[in-house]
Amino acid sequence: MNGIVLAMLGYVLVQFAIGISASRTMSSESDYILAGRSLGSGLVAFSVFASFFGAEAIVASAGAVYENGWRGAAVDPFGYALALLIVGTLLAGPLWRRGLTTFADLFRARYSPGVEKLVVVMLLPGSLFWAAAQIRAFGQVLSANSTLDLQTAITIAAVLVAGYSVVGGLLADSVTDVIQGAAVIAGLVILTIAVANAPLPASAGWIIPTPLHVAEQSEALSALLAVEQLAIPICGTVVSVELISRFLGSRSAAVATSGTSAGALMYFLVGIMPVYLGLKGAHILPGLPEPEQVVPKLAEAYLPGALRIAFVGAIISAILSTVHSALHGPASQVSHNIVLRMLPDLPSRQKLWVVRTTVMALSLVAYSLSLSSERIHDLVETASAFGSAGVFVVAIFALFTNYGGPVSAYGALLAGMFVWLAAKFVFALPIPYLLALAASVAIYVALAPPQTRRTSPR
């Protein structure tokens, strides 16, 4: 193994040690899932930032800007940063005050146990495909910097990721997120400074012409397409169990609000650096066959050995933080809201091991997906949109109104899923997600009982 691979493995082992040390204080399921509701604003902010700022936020966003200019930055970082800010300012406090253990608890308290379980099942595919994408990305980094073939590298990555995720709960994850977030920021700063000192052709401009055929579309359709493009990351982020699990462990509602909002600001400020790299990379490295290669190619061209190792460490940091949250959040919901509902009398220690076993099981599923899917990024986008429209609509009604009941919730959840599937895959309509949102709202209102329940939701 070369120096980069040894450095990566050493870095991961250090994270293991930190996770094991932090996990010694855990004695219950609640400790694992919520860190004893002890997180301060700094830990929440870094955890929100590090959990969402994955490898794709570096590589894919720079590639989109390389290919499409400023238009490529609409979703990442602008869309995701806006979504995180919305959650921080409007939703984090109200969700924390309800005393939830998981996001799905909201739907049990407001509607019914059946709605609770349906939400868990509908949100699970997106998390699994997202975790699989990160495992595959980790394997690609290992393979690219060693003599390992891709399948072996992905297997090694999966073992490391599964062990890392099972050992530490939310507290361990939040502590390591500070280290990993700092590594991501340092790596991007190093590369951005190096690229900024690279000469730019005198004829270069900063706005790169977009290849999209906007002129062939009406203004109304173009506006709808832009809203569709932003609706998926915004609505999907609002109901993201990975995000919500971060701030439910806060020590107060005020900390949940301030920490999540600070994480959104960090996401935006750090996310500007890949945008810059994509813009400048289009001029100093034109004609790349694969736009998402722009950041690795810039690192290879402008960073010497030691600094290149530091940048690879930043990529690994982004992957570890993201994949842990992608496994921890949904595993907490599956174990707490489905498995342990059927086994309510288990001792506290055994409940803790049920959560950890669920993390391991989901890790195996994500590993299988990472091996079987070559275009997993496309699957991530599909899974993120699958079901999230209905969950978003029902969650907003649950949080801010007493309107509607279990029947309207079931109808909205299923309508959002099936309308999106039909609009996208059967009729190939240009705005399937907006249609799914509209259908969910319409069905929820149509099925709501005439007499709205007057008592406040618990």
Q: Which of 8, 18, 37 is nearest to 167 (CA)?
A: 18
- Find the range with the poorest average confidence among 168-172, 237-241, 450-454: 450-454
Determine the distance from the C-alpha atom of residue 122 to the mean position of all C-alpha atoms in its chain, rounded to a whole number: 16
Cis omega (within 30 of 0) on the bond before 291?
A: no
Q: How confident is the model at residue 212 (pLDDT cuts 50, 70, 90)?
A: very low
User: Does residue 51 surpass a pLDDT of 90?
Assistant: no
For residue 422, the Cα-to-chain-centroid distance in whole angstroms is: 25
pLDDT at residue 44 tops 90: yes
Q: Which residue has the higher pLDDT, 135 or 262?
A: 262
Please, which pLDDT band fits residue 351 given cuts at 50, 70 and 90? confident
Could you tell me the maximum CA-CA distance found in the chain, to the nearest angstrom?
Answer: 72
Residue 378 pLDDT greater than 60, yes or no: no
Give me the pLDDT at residue 198, please: 78
Indicate the pLDDT class of residue 213, thresholds 50, 70 and 90: very low
- In degrees, rounded to 5, the angle at the alpha carbon of residue 269 between the alpha carbons of residues 268 and 275 is 80
So where are the chain's domains?
3-201+235-373
Average pLDDT, the chain: 84
Instruction: With 0.75 as the threshold, say if the pTM is over it.
Output: yes
Span of 93-97, 103-107, 147-151, 166-170 with lowest mean pLDDT: 166-170
Is pLDDT of 140 > 80?
A: no
Identify which has the larger pLDDT, 318 or 427: 427
Cβ-contact 260, 87 below 8 angstroms: yes
Q: Does the pLDDT of residue 216 top 80, yes or no?
A: no
pLDDT confidence of 329, banded at 50, 70, 90? confident
Residue 146 in this model has a pLDDT that exceeds 80 = no
Tell me the mean pLDDT in the region 140-165. Answer: 79
**Cβ distance 398 to 110 under 8 Å?**
yes
Q: Between residues 386 and 152, which one has the greater pLDDT?
A: 152
Residue 98: what pLDDT?
93
pLDDT beyond 90 at 390: yes
User: For position 23, what pLDDT does the model report?
Assistant: 67
Q: Which of 269-273, 353-357, 451-455 shows the lowest per-residue confidence on average (mean pLDDT)?
A: 451-455
Alpha carbon distance 221, 406 (integer Å): 35
Residue 2 pLDDT > 70: no
Q: Mean pLDDT throughout 315-328?
A: 81
Predicted confidence band at 21 (pLDDT cuts at 50, 70, 90)? confident
Confidence class of residue 201 from pLDDT cuts 50, 70 and 90?
Answer: low
CATH of domain 3-201+235-373: 1.20.1730.10
